[in-house]
Every structure is written in structure tokens, then in C-alpha cells.
Chains A and B, each alone.
Chain A
């Protein structure tokens, strides 16, 4: 393990470079859409509009980061949209209806996100339930609790701290605080996945759970933590949306799980686990946000906006497949993309073979 840390820095740089080259398809899609937009609209390539896009992307990005962890270990978390709603009504309601100080309301909300994640993780690892079913149950449960708690109404007024955060801007009022906040979370997630042992374990577990367990990796714990991260990030997303919309609402976030999962998968993270990364997820979120930006800038009529979004996703996916077919085979991409391979290789020579079988 010691010898590895010396070459660690170079490895990170190298892996960063590799990850970018892995994502060429998505980058091309973003560049093409960006170019088309800047030709068709004078307003696209303006500082204001770029800030707007980033600002709009922040909440989906934060929730998608958590989702990336879950999908990397081979799971899926459908509950995030409902958790956003639940944390929105709770964070405001605990103060407005139950008289708790705002910081306590926010803390309890975050803990609730962790509880949901923990419950998902334990159900998946201990009870061997498919994560799809577990989190589908939570999708309904959390949304139901949000309606019950709020009686189906907006809870107002939001505690002042939400207004302060929601309106806080950096750099002479140019950059909403959400943008640097999301950026910090992105960097933390990136480092966690690429630099830490936990990160390598994530890839190993997602690549082949059985093999990684044989290799001595506490795969159950890794999976539980991944779900906790997702639950927590959904709760944070809910708090952010509450701050942005200035009320606790049981409707917000509904259906957002699909956008989030789409962003992660467009970003190149395999639904089978074990391959993918944070940069891809962020680019995926950006592409989807740009698509919604384009709909308004180009005045695409309401009946066509979904068609447009669908086409953007399809083109991004097609470009990615095309690039893969040209440069490498699918199989070698899988082997090369995860640092989990190293961990597994050190411990068990059979792993690699198993690893390929997953695809």
C-alpha cells in the first residue's frame, strides 16, 4: 500500500486525463449544442447566461453526485425526488409548525436523509432486496410523508437563514453561492472516488461484488455508505431547492429522480456498476441544463420541448457509442476505466476474468 501513495499523484493526473478522453462523446455533444446555440442566439454565450446555466444545474448536480456513488456500486436510488420534497417540508415545517430553531430543523432534515440512505443500504445488503424495489418503496413513502406532514400545502414563511443563503451571491453579486458550493462537493466527490481507498473499493464492489468480497473488501459497508451519500445529497438538494423557491413544498422535486439518473448515465456511468466517474456526471447535468436553456432561448414551442430534450440525449448517447466503437472495444474500456481493477488484481488473479464477465 505504501509504494502506491508515492506514485499516487501521477496516477491521479493520469486518471484525470483518461477520464476526459473517455468522455469525448459527451464533450462533443456539449460543444456541438453550445456552438449551435451561440449561432442561433446572441444571448447564449454571455456571462449572465453561463452563470444562469450553472446556477440552474447546481441542485441536479448535487443530487446526481450522490446517485453516482450508488450507481457505481451497481445500485440505483429512485427515492431522491421524494426525499427532496420531504426535506423541503421538514426543514421549514420543523421551524414554522414545531417551533424548533432553524439549525436544528436543518440538522434533523439532513439526518433523515442519512436514515433513508442507511435503510436503503441495509435492505440491499442484509435483506438482499433489489435497490430498485427498496428505493421505489421510499419514493412513495417519502412523498407520502411529505404530503401528510404538510397537509398538501406550502409551508411558509421560510426561516430567514434560507432567504439569506438563497440570495447570497459572491464576486460582487455575480455568482450565486450555490455554484461554489456545488463545485466544492464535486471536488470532494472526485477526490473521494479517485484518491481514497473507499473510492477504489466502490469501483471494486461495483465491478464484481463477489470477487471484491473474496479480496477482503467490506462490500456491504461500501454499499451502505454509497446509499447514505445519496440520501444525504438528496436532503441537501431539498434544502437548496427550499432556499431557491422560498417555501417548503411537498410537490417540488417530484420526478427529478429521472433527470438525475439520466444525467449520471449520460455521463458514462454504467448501470451495472464499476465504471464511471464524477466528471461524466457533471457534464451530463450540464448537457441536460443546456437543453432546457436552449428550449427557452430558441423559443421551442411547448409541444416540441420534450422531443428536443429526447433528441439531445439520444445524440449524446449515439456519439458516445460511436466513439467507443472507433477507439476501443467495449470490453477494454471497462477494464481500463476503473481503478478498482488494481485493488482486485493485487489480491486475486481470478478477478479480472470475472470483471469482464460482468459486461
Chain B
């Protein structure tokens, strides 16, 4: 028993050492502490305004970047921003919204986990007189001040055209699909599949990976068993391509972009890892979803709102931009910004 106790003490010490290792790196990314300033009523100024940011999930690099850039913009304008992470759980987010509304912030920045399920919360915020600034997923209600999103449908279309052109408009193309029911995933898939109908000699096989890289791995392995003429793949995010790459490696089919037998790979988002793969010549292209711009624009609009200027459009969709080896080193790409921050 004494031995066991000794062992436990040792292990506990180890844990603390470990959490210390982790601890020092988190300062840049965790919640900005709210100094508890009460909002200066009236007054056309952004200084000291309290803003709550309810985000769908900080497990995605995209969201981390959006959060960083919106916090930066808030700071520049002297706003206090408090961040809530719903961890992709819609119910969790509804609870968070209730709590946020109870603290009566001046505005709310909201990226909804589920556009439908957030409607009651959005209404409640409106009834409480708190304007909601939406980012990312498209609102299905009308109770918001402004929305800055991304043209997911067009991203799917552009990927279809790109792949069709590179593979010579024939063969089987795998679609690595995101979560069924998630607005972004559905629109990307719809855009991709509708546009692919223009190319009768291309067959699309959809793999339902629910955004998960390991599912993409398993399903891609199986797809190569079932289909012999796979020439390319479209992935609804860059993350799932990790699984695709591992599967291709396992099948000994991982070839560089210029080599023969290369499987054309197009992702969405432009994550740091995606850009790295484009640089390495493994991935052909990614459709940039500018997380940095999205967080910045939405927060700037908040600042405008506080200054009494509401001349911004109700809905804004950021255009997908194709990243390939020609522009992958552009330092303004959010994936590069994020990677350089890390170093």
C-alpha cells in the first residue's frame, strides 16, 4: 500500500509538471478577462463596451483564428470581450446564450452551432434589447443586426470546376462530406454535387465523415476497394484531408501533384496544415475561408454600431478564394498568419 501511495505521489507531481508545460502556452488564447466595468450608457464611444462572444467550437483552427482576430479588433477599440465556447453542442450554446443575456452585455457576437436551434436564443437576445452580430453560419431568423459569413455553396462549386478541369472531366471523384445537417457542410455538398452534374463523365461518391479525419481515413480506404478509377477528392474541410492522406499512404497511392497517378485533392478553409500540404505538393488547392477577416469585419461593425453608424449591409458573404501553389506563401492568408503566430 505504501508503495502504491508513493507511486501516486510521483504521478501526481508528474501531472502538475505536465499541466505547467501546457499552462504557459495558453495565455494568448483563453478568455479575455472581463474587468467588470459597467457599460457607459449612451455616449457614442466603443470604450469600455461589454461584448460577449458565443462561438460554436474552439476545437477548430478556423474558429480559433476567428476568435483571435475578433478579440484583437475588440481590444483596439477598447471593448471588453468575453468568450464562450459551445464545443459544437447546440444545447450547450442555448444555455450559454441564456447566461450571456442575463449578464446584459452591450452586444453579442454569435457563431451558431445550429442555425435553427439558436432561433429562440436569438429572439431572447432581441427581446432583451441586445443586438446580435452573427458570424459564420447563416442565420435563419431575422433577429440579428448583421451577418458576416462565407459563400459555402460557391466554395463547393469552385471545387467541382477545379477538380473537373484538372482530371480531364472523367473518372470517380470522392466527396469527403462534413456533418449532415450542419449548414456549412450541406451547402458545400450541394454546391459541389449540383455543379458536378455539368460533367456527365464524372461520378461522385460521397463519404459521410462528419468532419472527422479518422472517418475520412477509414472511408477512403474502403472507397478505393469499391471503386477502381478514383482520380480526385473534394473535402468539405482541410482537416479531413489528413485522413485521406494517411489512407493514400497506406495504399501506396500518395503521389505529388506533378507525378502520374496523383489523386487531385481540394479542401476548404485554408488551415495551416492545408497550406503546408499545398506547399509540399500533396494537396492541389484549398478554398480559403478567411477566418481572420470574418472576425475582424464583424467586430468592426460592432464598433461602428457603438459609434452610431449602422450603414453596414445586413448580410455579407466573404468570397472563397482559391489557394494553390502560386499564392500559398501569401503572408496574409489566415493559415499563414496562424502558423507564424505559433512560431
Contact = CB atoms under 8 A, between A and B. Distances in A.
Interface of A: 41, 43, 46, 48-49, 52, 55-56, 90, 94, 97-98, 108, 111-112, 114-115, 118, 122, 145, 147-149, 151-154, 156, 166-167, 173, 176, 241, 244-247, 249-254, 289, 292-293, 295-297, 299, 301-303, 305
B209 to A, nearest CB: 9
A55 B214 contact: no
B246 A111 contact: no
Contacts of A251: 59-60, 212-213, 239
A41 B226 contact: yes
A147 B242 contact: no
A161 to B, nearest CB: 16
A138 to B, nearest CB: 12
Interface in B13-37: 14-15, 18-19, 21-23, 25-26, 28-30
Nearest to B68: A151
A56 B252 CA distance: 16
Given A167-B249, A245-B213, A245-B246, A296 B222 contact: yes
A120 B219 CA distance: 34
Q: 7 tightest A-B contacts by CB?
A: A296-B222, A302-B208, A149-B22, A152-B64, A115-B11, A56-B218, A43-B225
Contacts of B342: 153
Contact of A245 (B177, B205, B217): B217
Contact of A241 (B63, B214, B276): B214
A302 B177 contact: yes
Nearest to B175: A302
Contact of B180 (A48, A97, A115, A302): A302
A114 B11 contact: yes
Contacts of B318: none
Contacts of B226: 41, 43, 296-297, 299
A24 B226 CA distance: 30
B273 A156 contact: yes
Given A148-B23, A153-B64, A302-B180, 8 more contacts: A151-B26, A154-B273, A249-B242, A252-B214, A292-B219, A293-B222, A296-B225, A297-B222
A302 to B, nearest CB: 4
A149 B58 CA distance: 13
Interface of B: 8, 11-12, 14-15, 18-19, 21-23, 25-26, 28-30, 58-61, 63-64, 177, 180, 205-208, 212-214, 217-219, 221-223, 225-226, 239, 242-243, 245-246, 249-250, 252, 271-273, 276, 338, 342
A94 B18 CA distance: 9
Nearest to A176: B250
Is chain A's binding surface mostly helix, strand, loop or mixed?
helix
Is chain B's binding surface mostly helix, strand, loop or mixed?
helix
Contact of A296 (B19, B58, B207, B249): B207
Nearest to A41: B226
Contacts, number: 133
A249 B58 contact: no
Contact of B213 (A97, A252, A301, A305): A252
27 contacts: A41-B226, A49-B222, A55-B221, A98-B21, A111-B11, A149-B22, A149-B26, A151-B29, A152-B29, A152-B63, A154-B61, A154-B242, A154-B271, A154-B272, A154-B273, A173-B252, A241-B214, A245-B213, A247-B242, A251-B239, A292-B218, A295-B208, A296-B207, A296-B222, A296-B223, A299-B205, A302-B177
Contacts of B338: 153
B207 A145 contact: no
Given A94-B21, A302-B177, A108 B14 contact: yes
Contacts of A301: 206
B213 A112 contact: no
Chain B CB within 10 A, most for which of A112, A152, A166, A303: A152
Given A43-B226, A247-B242, A296-B219, A152 B21 contact: no
B18 A108 contact: yes
A299 B222 CA distance: 10
A152 to B, nearest CB: 4
Given A52-B225, A176-B250, A245 B19 contact: no
Nearest to A154: B273
Contacts of B276: 156
A249 B213 contact: yes
Contacts of A245: 213-214, 217, 242-243, 246
A97 to B, nearest CB: 7
Nearest to B249: A167
A299 B226 CA distance: 9
Contacts of A173: 252
A297 B227 CA distance: 8
Contacts of A147: 58-59
Contacts of A151: 25-26, 28-29, 64
A253 B213 CA distance: 10
Given A244-B217, A246-B246, A90 B18 contact: yes
A244 B246 contact: yes
Contact of A149 (B25, B206, B249): B25
